[in-house]
Amino acid sequence: MTRPVMATTADFVDETGWITIAIQYLMTTLILVLFQNKTNKIIVEKFAEIDCALQTIINDDFYSKSRKDANKFTILYFVSCILLTVFAITLERDFPIQYLIYLVIYFERKIEVFMFCQIISMLRQRILVINSYFEHFFKNRRTAEKSDINNQAWAKGSIKFIGQVSLKKLKMQKLVNAYNKVGELCYSINSVSNVFLLMTFISAFIYIICTFWSSLYYLKSNKSFTSLLRVIVFSGAELVSISSISFYCESILVAKNILKAYLNKTINDYSLPKHTRMQAKTFLEITLVWPLHIFVFDMFPVNLKLILDFISVCTSYLVIVVQISHLM
C-alpha cells in the first residue's frame, strides 16, 4: 500500500474515534431529553424520601460534608480538563477547528461521567447512614440501660439513632423502609443510565483502538513522537473514566456488604430480644431483594472486575491492530 493511501487510512481511523464520541454524545442527549425527564424527577424525589426516612434533613453536617466532597471532585475534574485541553492544543502544530469541537464534546462526555459518579456517591452516602445506626448501636450497647435495639437511642450530631417507639426516633422498621427506597432508587438510576453506560464503554473502546491505530502510522512514518504521547494521555483518560464508573459502582456493594455484616451480627446475638433478631433477618432478606448491582442492560455488571475485562478486551484487539499494521 502506498504511503498516501496509508496516510488517508490513518486520518480516517483517527477521525472515526472522534466521530464515535460525537455520536455517543448525540444519542445520550436525545434519549435524556425525549424519554428520561420523568425518571430523573423520580430520582430526585426518591433522594428526598430517603433523607426524610433517615432524618438526614435535620443534620447539617451530613450535607456540608457532601458538599465538600462534591466540590473537591468538581475542582479535580475541571483542572484535569484544562490540562488536557492545553496538552491537546500544544501537541498539534496544525489544530483544525473541528478538533476544538471534538474536544468540547469529549469533555461534555466527561461531565456525564462526573454526574453519574456523583449520583452513585450520593446513593452510597445514604447506605452509610444506615450503617452508622448499627455501628453506633453496637458501640454504645454496653453502656446502654437496655440492650434492645428498639428500646434505646443515642444521638450522633442531630441524628437520632435506633431508639424507642416514638415518632422522633428511628426503629429498625424505618431503616428497612429506607433501604427499600434505596433499592428502588438504585433501580431507577440503573434504568436511566443503561444507554449512557453502554455507549460510554463502546465509544471508549473504539476511541482507544482508533487512536492507537492512527498513532502506529505516525510512528512508522517517523513524523513525530507526539502521536505516542497523545495516545497515552487520551487513552489513559478513557481508562480513568471507565475506572471511575466501576469504582463508584463497587463502592455501593462494599457499603451493602458492611450492612449485611451488621445484620448478621444482630441475628447471631442471642442476648437481643427474639423480635429484634427476626426484624434483622427480614432486613437481611430485603438486601437480597435489592442487591444494588448496576448492570448494563442486564448483560454485564459494572464493578471493579469490569476494569480488568475492559483492559483485556482492548489488549486483544490492539494485538490484532498491530498485526494488521504490519501488513499495510
Mean pLDDT of 289-315: 89
**Integer Cα distance of 158 and 155 in angstroms:** 7
Look over the chain and give the mean of its residue pLDDT values, rounded to a whole number: 76
**Integer Cα distance of 307 and 323 in angstroms:** 25
pLDDT of residue 211: 74
Structural domain span for residue 50: 3-327
Per-residue b or e along 290-321, where b marks 16 or more CB atoms closer than 10 Å to that residue's CB = bebbbebeeeebbbeebbeebeeebeeebeee
Q: Which residue in 129, 107, 114 sits closest to 248, CA to CA? A: 114
Q: How confident is the model at residue 319 (pLDDT cuts 50, 70, 90)?
A: confident
pLDDT of residue 148: 44
pLDDT in tens, 58-99: 666 777 888 888 888 888 877 877 777 777 667 665 556 666
Q: How confident is the model at residue 24 (pLDDT cuts 50, 70, 90)?
A: low
Q: Which amino acid is at 200?
A: T
pLDDT in tens, 174-212: 889 999 999 999 999 998 888 889 888 888 888 778 777
Number of domains in the chain: 1
12 has a pLDDT exceeding 90: no
Which range, of 5-14, 86-95, 100-109, 304-313, averages the lowest pLDDT? 5-14
Q: Say whether 104 sits in a helix, a strand or coil.
A: helix
Q: Which residue has the cell 464493578?
A: 303
Beta bridge partners of 300: 296
pLDDT of residue 156: 46
Q: Which residue in 21, 19, 9 sits closest to 215, CA to CA? A: 9
pLDDT in tens, 98-117: 667 777 777 777 888 888 99
Q: Which amino acid is at 236?
A: G
Q: Which residue has the cell 456493594?
A: 253
In total, the chain counts a number of residues equal to 328
Can you give the three-state secondary structure of 273-295, one letter per residue? CHHHHHHHHHHHHHHHHCCCCCE
Which range, of 33-47, 142-156, 245-259, averages the lowest pLDDT? 142-156
314 has a pLDDT exceeding 80: yes
Q: How many CB atoms lie within 10 A of CB 108?
A: 13
pTM: 0.78
14 has a pLDDT exceeding 60: no
Q: How confident is the model at residue 150 (pLDDT cuts 50, 70, 90)?
A: very low
Q: What's the DSSP call for residue 144?
A: S
Q: Are 176 and 286 in contact (CB under 8 A)?
A: yes
Q: Are 209 and 314 in contact (CB under 8 A)?
A: yes
E-strand spans in the chain?
Answer: 155-156, 159-160, 295-296, 300-301
